[in-house]
Every structure is written in structure tokens, then in C-alpha cells.
Structure 1
């Protein structure tokens, strides 16, 4: 092969349009390796922190209602940058944006590992989220462009590996680091991975030119992001203190609500052709129903997963590593049904699949709401978690698909962005309020203390019969909190009944949407 032919072959991004069955060549695999490195960091970080919350609470002497913002602040930051990603990709170029995102994430990780109190850790987690929220969309855009449209399915299968393994490996890795090294290493571990990703990105990724195509809705961003944060913080603080008339609660909650309402007015203005979230799409029944289902499901599911490691560690006395292992059935269940749910959605219609998925999740959560006692069988709890995972795999992506089914091709990218923001915000609301509810349940049972809002004393400090009573009260607090989570899931059936129940229509070739940054969380 001549040198010119070799260069031509290396520059070829993939098979020609008439060869949709071509495999992924070495160049695409190299790009995929870079993208997967970034995805591993971003996805693991979502799941790795939950098993460390008890240790963080003890080290910083902070209650659960405060320390849960380590998780909530991160997801809120993700929601903030999702709508910015498309504009930033065009403005700076996808390679540059990807490297900036990784650098922000690594910087936030290093600083989080150095945190000296709960407030500093929360702030650094927000910085992490600002970078982490752009890693997956930018990476998927790079990989899709490198592979070509005919090989998107193969690309998704490669990047889907960390997405499926994250909920399994994250808690186990986090538990091991917390127990045998230090909780700080759940953040430090991102530094060498991120450094390697940056080096490989600079060497492997093809440079693309910045091509600004649309104007960023700066006013919408300024109104929505602090509005959501203020509203959520105010409501959570009022619930935690059982006093919504406090000055700080009123200022933050009312101020946040005003900003969110102002954003709504701004987004609905006829002159606003590129709103941060296109609220006009919610006039479509499929989009509105999918959004309602997603909000209730995410609030319940992610809130429930936040407090389960705390049950294992505080009530059952398990280590963080053991707690991570005990969470693995949920990830295994989701890994099994996510691909099946996608295929069933294409064959049967999303509405039918989502209803089945919700029913399965309800069965799993009901197991915790009825049987999460001080001596519940680990086999029983593992089965309940596995069932929750099975249902989750048949709920999340089919709900997203239901929203897209009736949209025009130019509406799909805007709807995808809106739904991903809704998912992240709902997860933030769920983790915040489930944590507040658990704290309130502990307080009602006279289990207040520093730490988790109900830390059990050491076995040698009180007589065994008294310790057993304390443990029983703590288990009852967790079990009661799961009833609230179950209630949210039951309400999710109402909007889910309005989802389309026919399989999606096959689009014509000339109606396929133009490539946009892909948002996946």
C-alpha cells in the first residue's frame, strides 16, 4: 500500500453509506477507548458516592440532610450544563469541549478529595458536575462522527458497557476505597484516569473547527439554574427544620420560585426561538406524559437508592465494601432488561413496556416498604433489589422513547435535552427529600444525634436489649421512608397511562434528524 493510500485509509471514518454492516476499525476503537475512559469516570462517580455518605457524615459531623447535598449538588450541576453542551460543542469544537470537560471534572475531583468540611466538599462536587455533565454528550458526538451514521448501533454497544457496569462496580469500588484506603480516594482515583484520558484525547481525537450555529439562551440559564437550586434548597431546609416560616427558607424558596416562574415566561415568549428548555413541546401529550412519569419515577427510585447503603451500614453494621456488594443485584437486573426494554419498545410501543416496568419496580420497592426490618433476610433484600433493577431497565429509556415517538425530526434534540434536564432535577429532588424524610423519621423516634441523624451507639455502650430497641426504631424509620417512595411510584402510573401504546412509526430516510450532540445520563 502506498503512503498516499495509507493516509486515505486512515482518514476514512468508516464504511460507505452503502456498507452499513462494516465493523469498527482500529481508528474508531481508539476513539471509543478515549470516550469510554471519560464515561467510566462520569458514570462511576454518580454511584460511588452513596456508599461513602455515612463516613462523610461522621468525618464532617454533618447530618444526612446536609451531607446528601454531596450527591444532590452534583446532579443539579449536571442538569445545569446539559442544555449548554450543544452550543458549547459548536462554539469551541467537540474535541476541545471534551478535554475542557474532563479537565473540569478532574479538578473538581482533586479538590473534593482535599475538602476540609461538608460545605467545601459540596462546592467541589458542583465543579465536578459542571465538567461531568458535558463528558458523555461531547464524547458520544465525537464517537458518532468517527464511526459514521451506519455504525451508531455498534458504537452504542461499546459505550453502553460502562453505563451497564457502573451501577454494579461503582458501589463496590467506592466501598473498598472507603474501608481500606480513605473516602478521599473515591475522588482522587479520577485524577490518573482523567490525566490518561486527556493525554489520549490530545493524541487520538481529530481536531474539529468551531462552527458557532446558534445563540446560547444566557437569560434562561441565569434564571433557571439558580432558581432550581434556591427552590430545592429552601424546601429541603424548611422540611428538615419543620419550619417553612424561617427567614432563610422564605428567601431561598420564594426567590427560587420567582426565578423559575420568570424562566417559564421567558421560555414561552414567541420571540424566543431558542429557549434553554422548549416548554412549548409540553403541549404534546406524549412529551407531557413522559415528563410526568420521569419526574415521579426518578424522585422515587434515586431517593430510594440513596438511603439503602445507610440502612446496611447503620442498622446492620456492614462495612462500606459489603454494602456495595449488597447493592450489586440492582445493577445486574438493569443490565439484563435495558436491551430487552429497547427491543420491546420498538415492537410493542413504549406505553405498554413502561407500565410493566413500573409495576415491577413497585414490587421491588414494596419489598423494602414492608420487610426492611432489623433482621430482614439478605437474600430477600437482594431479590427485591434485583426486581427493582429489572423494572428500572424497562422504565427509563422506554419513557424517553415515548416522548420522541410523535415529534418532528427538528424537535427531537430539544425534547431530548429537556427530558434529560427533568431527569437530573427530579433525581436531585428525590435524593434531597428522601434524605429529609429519613432524618425526620429518625427525629420522631428520638434518634437525633450528629452524623446520620440517628447513629446507633456502639454495642458496648448500652445493654443489648436497649441496643436492640434502638436498632429496631432505626429500621422502622427506613421502612417508613420507603412507603413515601412507594407512594410516588404508584402516582407515576397516572401519567404513564397516557403514553403511546403503539410501536413507533418508521421515519423516511429524508426525515432523519441532523447530527446533534447526544445527551446520555
Structure 2
């Protein structure tokens, strides 16, 4: 059954509501874990006696497999059915969450997080593709808007839910709570969501490309986190060789996972380079800020989770306005001003320390950071999609999604090393405070560089082409 044969669902119908609900619940699983794990890191470290490097892997193992395989996950959905692959991904994610919840040591937790990322790579592309394939064309924008808005609410609830579970139950429940949510998701998808697929999808899957992409990201991440170790130089060399091999395979393959030709467009390449800078800073700010609030400022897990809520609220209520502004005046100004505003918010967070006030030291910085992010995100996404040919819209979205996650992955791996943090110093208030301040300056510089890059390379007429 092709997408065109099933694109007859209306938004106001029971089936339409079910499609949106399944997509929101599925993507909400990945969003929930993305926002609560940082809150739990210090507690996990204490309970499992984990080092800083192991805590980095708890975060990065998930991002690594997700970023490496998300393009392949989208291809599998187009070929075998978006609902089918979405359901498989949801079940996989739930099983990996169970393993996270019962992990007896850091090594098992890291492995389980990598497996979670694989599940996320299967269900994340499908959550939006099911909407795109099932709804009539006139209802797709409203359905996507509902998916985006409700997904933002899931992300907003993450820090609160995670903090409550950590403070009043156990950190393991931030993973175990995924199990009932996954059951509901699968039941709704199987019962009401129509199956869609791309009738022209290739039967060939670029497994060599996926494996080489994983090796390239994995080698780089290992070298950065374990810098100074005996195997780190070999991992770095393996990563460089994997990048070269990946480019060669993708260039020669008749049906590559990544169409390298889309990077010939200067705007597309520049927007993705800017994405790498901005999301690297975003991932690092949230990683360091959450630990700073708990280790240095003495916040509970719940308080640390709620501290970033203003940023999420800015996204929830203002991101659509940012998209409207970008459509009206062009993306260049929002994509320039947004990162610079975020850089200003990051510098304000330098005030976070021992015996500080949330209202004067945390709230101004995190709110300004959120305002800049809300201004930036929608114009950035629209620019990436508009810069690619229509037939490559899916791969363009996948590339930008993967680049954003890779940016966070590499920043969380590299910055602790760059600011001299290692071992179990994440639990030492004096050592971590000094590292936090250096990291915030680096993040502000990355954001400012992203703003300058946008001003120099983004063309205002892209959105209307």
C-alpha cells in the first residue's frame, strides 16, 4: 500500500487524532529521556560509583547510535512501512529502557543507552513520516503543528517528572516509566494508524554507510572522552579513516544513505554547519548547568530539572512566532540574532554558583537562552528544507537532525576534557565550578560563531523559493 493510497485521513476524525497521539507518544519517549537523564547523572554516578567518563557515555552512547542510524531508520520506514518500523522501534526502545532500569553497573547502563538510541533511530523518523503519509495534504500542516506543540509539552514535563522520580522514588524509574507509555503507543498505532510506505523506495540499504558513520562518530567520541588513555590515539585514527571511507562509499554507491550532492548548495551546508555549532553549545550548556546546580549550588534533582523549565516554555509558546517572523523577514536575521542572544544568556549563567539566588543568577540567563533558541529553531529548519530539492526533503531533514545530535554528542565528549575535568571531579564543587565557568565561555563563543556564520552565508530569499 503506498502513501498516496492511504493519504485520506482528516485531522478531526478519530483516526486522525489517533495518528497524532501515536506520533506524539512515540517521539515523546525519546524527548522525555533526552530531558531527564542530565538531571539524573549525579545521582546515577553516586549510586553506581561511576566516573565522569562513564557518565559522559551514559549521555553520549544514546546520542551516538541515534545520530548514526537515524537516516537508516527513515529508509527502513519508507521501504517496509512507517507504522511497522515505528512500532518495532517503540518496542525496542521499551526493552532497552527496561535494561537501563535494572542495570547493575555503569557498563550495562551504557550498553542499554546505546540500544535505546537504536530504538530511537527507528521510531523518531516514523513519528513524523506517519503524519506526512496518512493525512490529506490540506491537513498536514495543522497535524504537524499539533505534533510539534504536544511534543514540546512532553519535553517541558521531562525535567519535572524526572526530578520527582529521582527525589521521591529512584533514578531507575526515569527509564522504567517508558514501559507503560510504550504499551499505549503500540496499541494506538496498531489499532488505528494506517500503514504507509514509499512505493518508489529503494530495496537497497546502505549498511556499509551506516556502519562507517557509526565508527566515525564512535571513534571520535571515544578519543575525546578517553583522551590521554592508551587507546585514544588509535580511536582517533580509526575515526579519520572511517570518515574517508564513508565519503568514498557514499560517492560511489548507486543508492547511498546520504546524497552528498545536497551539500553543493551553500545555504544547506552553511545551515548545517551552524546547526553543529549551536546544538553543540546547547548540549554542553544543559549538561554542565544541571551538574553545576546540583554539585555546586546544592539543588535537588527536582529543583535542577525545574531550573531549565523557562527555556522549554519559551520554545513552547514562542517557537511558532519565530517561524512566522522568519517567513516574513527571511531567515538571515533570526538565524543571526538567535545564537547571539543565546550567547548572552550563556554568559549570564556564569553567575550560577554557591549560595546564589535562582531568581537573579539562573532565571535571567536560562530565559534569555530560551528566547534566542525560540527565535532560531523554526527558521533554521525551514531554511534547511527549502535549500534541498523537493525529492530530497526527507534526507535533508534527517541530515539536519543527525547533525544536531552529533553536535551535542561531540560537545559533551570534548568539553570536559578541554576544561580540565576528569575522573570523579564532577562531584567536587571546587573543581567543577572552575570547569563550569570555562565551559560556559566556550559555549558562548560557539554560539556567537554560529550567529556570524549565518550573517555571512544565509540568503533571505531561500524560504520563498
* Superposition TM-score, scaled by structure 1 size: 0.83
Q: Structure 2 residue aligned with 1:182, among 166, 170, 183?
A: 170
Contact 1:374–1:472, Cα closer than 8 Å, also in 2:
no
Contact 1:348–1:503, Cα closer than 8 Å, also in 2:
no
Q: How does 1:125-140 map to 2 (within 5 A)?
A: 125-140=113-128
**SS at 2:32's partner residue?**
helix
Give the aligned partner of residue 318 of structure 1.
299
Give the aligned partner of residue 305 of structure 1.
286
Q: Structure 2 residue aligned with 1:224, among 213, 225, 239?
A: 213
In structure 2, do the counterparts of structure 1 residues 400 and 158 end up closer, same or farther at CA, with 3 Å as the change threshold? closer
CA distance in 2, matches of 1:404, 1:421: 14
Q: How does 1:70-469 map to 2 (within 5 A)?
A: 70-208=58-196, 211=199, 213-214=201-202, 215-238=204-227, 243=228, 246-269=229-252, 272-369=253-350, 371-380=351-360, 381-437=362-418, 440-441=420-421, 450=424, 453-456=425-428
Q: Output one character per residue of 1:257-284: Cα deviation in whole Å (capped at 9) or x when no partner.
A: 1111111222233xx3432222332222
Contact 2:290–2:305, Cα closer than 8 Å, also in 1:
yes
Contact 2:311–2:371, Cα closer than 8 Å, also in 1:
yes
Give the aligned partner of residue 48 of structure 1.
36
CA distance in 1, matches of 2:198, 2:248: 32
- Structure 1 moving runs of 4+ over 6 Å: none
Give the aligned partner of residue 3 of structure 2.
none
> 1:303 Cα shift?
0.7
Larger radius of gyration: 1
CA distance in 2, matches of 1:161, 1:326: 21
CA distance in 2, matches of 1:365, 1:209: 43
* Superposition TM-score, scaled by structure 2 size: 0.93
Indicate the RMSD between aligned Cα atoms, in angstroms.
2.1
Q: How does 1:501-512 map to 2 (within 5 A)?
A: 501-504=459-462, 506=464
Give the aligned partner of residue 13 of structure 1.
8
CA distance in 2, matches of 1:337, 1:191: 32
In structure 2, do the counterparts of structure 1 residues 394 and 274 end up closer, same or farther at CA, with 3 Å as the change threshold? farther
**SS at 1:68's partner residue?**
helix
**Unaligned 5+ residue runs, structure 2?**
1-5
Contact 1:223–1:262, Cα closer than 8 Å, also in 2:
yes
**Unaligned 5+ residue runs, structure 1?**
1-10, 16-22, 457-470, 508-521
**SS at 2:434's partner residue?**
helix
CA distance in 1, matches of 2:265, 2:95: 41
CA distance in 2, matches of 1:181, 1:155: 36
> 1:167 Cα shift?
3.6
Q: Output one character per residue of 1:85-123: Cα deviation in whole Å (capped at 9) or x when no partner.
A: 232113321221111010100000001001111111011
Contact 2:338–2:373, Cα closer than 8 Å, also in 1:
yes
Equivalent residue pairs, number = 458
